Amino acid sequence: SNLGDREYNIRAAIRRIRLLMNTRVTKISKIIETPPEGGPPQGPYLNCVIEIQTTLSPYELLRRLQKIEGDLGRVRAVKNGPRCIDLDILLYDDARIEEESLCIPHPRMLERKFVMEPLEDIAPDLVKKLKIKKAIGKQKQRKNRRKAKKAKPSKRKKGSAG
């Protein structure tokens, strides 16, 4: 949240999430303040991560989180623009979903301090595991790039032997 009473907005969203059917808030991180990343000039954000247990599908959870955003006054006018509340699904068990409307795990979460710092507050072992997976992924990418370079045929000048 970076509009209005930012802390109230976060706490109001958490209260509404607690009211969702078959959903229980199990952990709440500390709230941190961070500068905006990208988008137009705007004020700093307050950020928080919560852990929930739910029987809602990822799609139904997303739909309900977007309803909470709307009920709290969220208007999607400018990409990465200021907002009173922004609710994202970072992870959902071990689900991997890559669609236009929903990406799990959240595609840029590992690069964002405003996600990782509060996540580490409530799930330090998970953050370590995610960082290790990221490092392994980078190693594999480097190895694949080296293999691809070696596999390319060299460019030799054509000429006549004689």
Q: Which burial class, exposed, middle or buried, applies to 152 when counting CB atoms under 10 A from its CB (0-12, 13-18, 19+)? A: exposed
Half-sphere CA count of 47, side-chain side, radius 13 A? 21
CA distance 2 to 52: 23
CA distance 145 to 152: 11
Strand partners, 103: 98
Apex CA 72: angle with CA 95 and CA 87, to 5°? 20
Catalytic residues: 74, 83, 86, 88
